[in-house]
Amino acid sequence: MAIKVRFAPSPTGPLHIGGARSALFNYLFAAGEEGTFILRIEDTDLDRSSRESEQEIMEALRWLGISWNEGIEAGGENGPYRQTERLNTYQEYTQKLMDNGKAYHCYCSEEELEQERQDLIQRGETPRYLGRCRQLTAEQRKAFEDEGRKPVVRFRVPDNQQIIIHDSVRDKVVFESDGIGDYIIVKSDGIPTYNYAVVIDDVLMGITHVIRGEEHLSNTPRQVLIYEALGMSVPGFAHISLILNTEGRKMSKRDGDTAVLDYAKKGYLPQAVVNFIALLGWSPAGEQEFFSMDELIKGFSLERVSKSPAVFDLHKLNHINSYYIKQTPDEELVELVLPFLKEKGMFPEESISEEEKTWIAGFIGAVKEKINNLSEVKDYIGYFWGTDLEEPEQEAITILQAETLPAVLELFQSKILTTVPLDAPAAKVILKEITKELSLKGKDVFMPIRIALTGQMHGPDLDKIIALQGKDNISGRLSKTYSFLGLE
């Protein structure tokens, strides 16, 4: 059987980590089985849905490298793929359900329903619809219509039935129909509810497996009843576990930092985010920690999706991201790092020159071992750019007060001025030569030069600092150091 799955976001906000994980698992499953992956937009919440969110969701999916072969923008023979453009289709099925008595019009007002709810709560029962409009006569219906009431359509939930869901993550899950109460499938404005539209679409689009978040598990019996009422076969289900934060609470959209594109803005690489979210609930067979998309496609299976909650651990994401940063050639990171440098006022022009590109690549090479995300490059600019230098701490000043300092710095400066090009290998040679020529230990040369150039006792590799600062900045920084020491 050809596999067909879908990701069906409601476009009521950006794509969050949880949604991205559902999309990814569907994508991986389809790709691994040579199946079809559909993107469908569930926009029946008219007040909260927007085209902007839809665009933003697609942008986030593309950023992650998740593509779909049918659906919004991709097209396909089961369209349209936006639920608000499928209202006629739902209407057809609603009519069928009404005709065979499986659904009915309900005229109850908000107030009447609220009263019923309160009464049930007071009696200690589960609030649910008790079926007041289940058996209305034609006269009763007419009377309500004459009052100007607009009906909703409710699904007639069969009494006393077990609803068994076969879920590949949770095995068999059993619900009782009695607790459910007839639920609304079409609102009074003619818009279908989620639990109804999702079934019609999944049926008509030939969905074979529904892979989605655990929060939808309680909706599933309502959906299964509709499949059964329509005489349609039920797809396979896989409800993936909640994602908890490290405090053990459910990650919510309100946790702030959960929109996928926020990670892009912070300088996380898409490969890292994909790798990270794949591990939120799926566990690979071996010890491997880092997976390319292709490896995920090969390795992914629903059998290895865990029942227990996944934990969103930012340290782990940072660990994975720093791995991918180190793996990526410096030149490929230039464009990604540029926005952060621009934030700091560097490279204000529209485009950058080849020389600037080379500088940025060198800068990335000098700091990439130290950062968890690309925005952190901002913390290192001061080591390499311009001549801003803070007065060193006392401990560092003491090092600069060594007797040998003037000789070291003088020799350093004269060598710098005559070295062309002044790149990192050349800087390394210069440092070695100074050690030799002045018969000093390495640290008596490296440390004072480092402090003189950066004001700090620690930091990125000194040869890279020298190459990236360049002659002019080095001269400027050395004069500042001399004046801190009262030598000028």
Residue type, 408: V
In DSSP terms, 174 is beta-bridged to 164
The CA distances from residue 175 to 50, 179, 180, 217, 218, in Å, are 34, 9, 9, 10, 9
H-type helices in 266-401, by residue range?
A: 270-278, 293-299, 314-327, 330-343, 354-367, 381-384, 394-400
Radius of gyration of the chain (CA): 32
Cβ of residue 318: shortest distance to ligand GLU, in angstroms? 28
| Minimal distance, residue 203 CB to ligand GLU, in Å | 13
- Residue spans of alpha helices (H) in 393-461: 394-400, 405-418, 424-437, 442-454
The residues of the shown chain that bind ligand GLU, judged by CB under 6 A, are: 8-10, 42, 198, 212, 216
Nearer to ligand GLU, 7 or 144 (CB): 7
Minimum CB–partner distance for residue 259 and ligand GLU (Å)? 14
d(CA 214, CA 221): 13
Q: List, edge to edge, every strand of the sheet that includes 103-106.
A: 103-106, 152-155, 184-186
Helix axes 405-418 and 462-484, enclosed angle (nearest 10): 130
For residue 239, the minimal CB distance to ligand GLU (Å) is 10
User: Measured from the CB atom, is 10 or 454 closer to ligand GLU?
Assistant: 10
Calculate the dihedral angle through the C-alpha atoms of 213, 214, 215, 219, rounding to the nearest 10 degrees. 100
Lookup: tokens for 322: 């720093």
Closest CB to ligand GLU among residues 198, 264: 198
From the list 341, 374, 372, the residue with the least C-alpha distance to 468 is: 341
Could you tell me if 382 and 480 are in contact, meaning their C-beta atoms sit under 8 angstroms apart?
no
C-beta of 9: minimal distance to ligand GLU in Å?
5
Residue 96 appears among annotated catalytic residues: no
CB of 173 to ligand GLU, least distance (A): 16
- 8 A C-beta contact, residue 132 and residue 156: no
Task: Specify the pairing of strand 70-71 against strand 209-213.
Answer: unpaired
Check if the beta carbon of residue 484 is closer than 8 Å to that of residue 397: yes
CB of 305 to ligand GLU, least distance (A): 15
Vertex 409 angle, CA 405 and 415, to 5°:
150
Q: Which is nearer to ligand GLU, 46 or 487 (CB)?
A: 46
CB of 373 to ligand GLU, least distance (A): 28
CB nearer to ligand GLU: give 223 or 481: 223
> Closest distance between ligand GLU and the C-beta of residue 212, in Å?
4
User: Using CA atoms, how far apart are residues 224 and 212, in angstroms rounded to an integer?
Assistant: 15
Q: Fill in the DSSP letter of residue 141.
A: H
Can you tell me whether residue 429 is helix, strand or coil? helix
Q: Which is nearer to ligand GLU, 10 or 78 (CB)?
A: 10
> CA-CA distance, 432 to 426, in Å (whole number)?
10
Which one is catalytic: 96, 187, 253, 428? 253
Residue 216 or 266 with smaller CB distance to ligand GLU: 216
Nearer to ligand GLU, 83 or 373 (CB): 83
Among residues 8 and 364, whose Cβ is nearest to ligand GLU? Answer: 8
CA 363 from centre of chain: 28
Q: What stretch of H or E contains 54?
A: helix 51-64
Cα 116–Cα 120–Cα 121 angle in degrees, nearest 5: 115
CA dihedral 21, 25, 27, 32 (to 10 degrees): 150
Residues involved in catalysis: 253
